[in-house]
Chain A
Amino acid sequence: MGIQLYRIDDRLIHGQVVVGWGQPHNIRFLVLVDDLVASSDWEKELYRMAVPPEMEIYFADVDAAIRDHARYASDPRPGILITGDIASMLRLVRGVKAIGSVNLGGIHHRAGRAEKVRYVFLTPDEEDQLRALEASGVEVTAQDVPSARARPLTEVLEGDFK
């Protein structure tokens, strides 16, 4: 089992993660990788209370997640690892060198970002970071919920669909 999904999602823990992916995949643990959240007891408590009782949640900054990745990967339970931004996932992938695929689950609009998919907006720098992820051998797809089609990165970057 171990990590079933490596997801980039700026909402971190929310309904799509806990219910949308969590229920059909029988997810039993979450790893929230975020430098800010990991450094704040209040933030950790906020997200801990958002997780149903059958799921365990671990908090880590990116360095700690790299260090502890083997433990998450060998966990007998199915889990999801989440970062809130592309840069954190890129650091993790480069540090771990054992991540085969990354899911784009939600990167929402803000100044400087262009719409690629309904739930994925990217700056030119973020596009480059995703290309770098794929160039390192990681399959990158956009898929908000399990019932949606996983869109390959090339299709996402073309941005010619909504």
Chain B
Amino acid sequence: MSETEGAGKPKAIVVGHGQFSAGLVSAVGQICGLADKLVVLSNVGQTPQDIEATLRDQLARTGARVIFTDLPGGSATIAARRIARENPDIVLVSGVNLATLLDFVFSSADTPEEAARAAAERGKASLIVIERG
């Protein structure tokens, strides 16, 4: 995979606590070189209004239509839900993990919602207890 194959507009925003999203997106870059498909945001030090405004700004700037968040009850998820409520074309996925993002950045689905749903299923399937032996 060459670096230029990943070039292009971001497809999603990844937002969460601390350095969660930076770490995940860094891992995507290391594995497949497609980190530029994702925008990194953190809720650190931000009011709920700040988080919402930053998300709105990034959605407008990048054209991304998918938001991945970490915790269903986190402040970033609540801010994203406010935006998704007004914008039916925005897709919100909480509980994101690395397998979810890897599936998403490679997706060739027709719509952001299809890509996000398939990625979420892949992410769920990756969370397993490895049996001994």
Closest B residue to A110 by beta carbon equals: B47
The interface stretch among B27-35, B70-78, B102-110, B115-123 is: B70-78
Query: A49 touching B72 by the CB < 8 A rule?
Result: yes
Query: A13 touching B71 by the CB < 8 A rule?
Result: no
The listed residue (A15, A18, A42, A118) touching B45 by CB distance below 8 A is A118
B17 beta carbon closer than 8 Å to chain A: yes
- C-alpha gap A109/B48 in the complex (Å): 11
Query: A108 touching B47 by the CB < 8 A rule?
Result: yes
Binary contact track B53-93/A, C-beta < 8 Å → 1, others 0: 00000000000000000111111011001100100000000
Shortest A82–chain B CB gap in Å is: 13
- C-alpha gap A107/B81 in the complex (Å): 22
B19 beta carbon closer than 8 Å to chain A: no
Query: A51 touching B73 by the CB < 8 A rule?
Result: yes
Chain A residues closer than 8 Å to B50, beta-carbon distance? 108
Chain B residues closer than 8 Å to A47, beta-carbon distance? 78
* A14 and B78 contact, Cβ closer than 8 Å, known pairs A49-B72, A51-B73: yes
Closest A residue to B85 by beta carbon equals: A42
Shortest B25–chain A CB gap in Å is: 19
Query: A14 touching B82 by the CB < 8 A rule?
Result: no
Query: B45 touching A119 by the CB < 8 A rule?
Result: yes
B126 beta carbon closer than 8 Å to chain A: no
* A52 and B73 contact, Cβ closer than 8 Å, known pairs A14-B78, A46-B81, A108-B50: yes
Query: B73 touching A11 by the CB < 8 A rule?
Result: no
Query: A10 touching B48 by the CB < 8 A rule?
Result: yes
- C-alpha gap A15/B124 in the complex (Å): 21
Chain B residues closer than 8 Å to A14, beta-carbon distance? 73-75, 78
Shortest A127–chain B CB gap in Å is: 18
Closest A residue to B71 by beta carbon equals: A15
Query: B47 touching A50 by the CB < 8 A rule?
Result: no
Chain B residues closer than 8 Å to A42, beta-carbon distance? 85
Chain B residues closer than 8 Å to A19, beta-carbon distance? 71, 73
* A10 and B45 contact, Cβ closer than 8 Å, known pairs A15-B75, A46-B82, A52-B73: no
Which 9 residue pairs are nearest across A and B when measured between Cβ atoms? Answer: A50-B73, A14-B75, A108-B47, A15-B74, A11-B75, A18-B73, A15-B71, A11-B48, A14-B74
Q: List 18 A-B contacts (CB under 8 A).
A: A11-B75, A12-B48, A13-B73, A14-B74, A15-B17, A15-B73, A19-B71, A19-B73, A46-B78, A47-B78, A50-B74, A50-B78, A51-B73, A108-B50, A109-B45, A110-B49, A118-B45, A119-B45
7 more CB-based (< 8 A) A-B contacts, given A13-B73, A50-B72: A10-B47, A10-B48, A14-B74, A18-B73, A51-B73, A108-B46, A109-B45
Residues of B near any A CB (own CB < 8 A): 17, 45-50, 70-75, 77-78, 81-82, 85
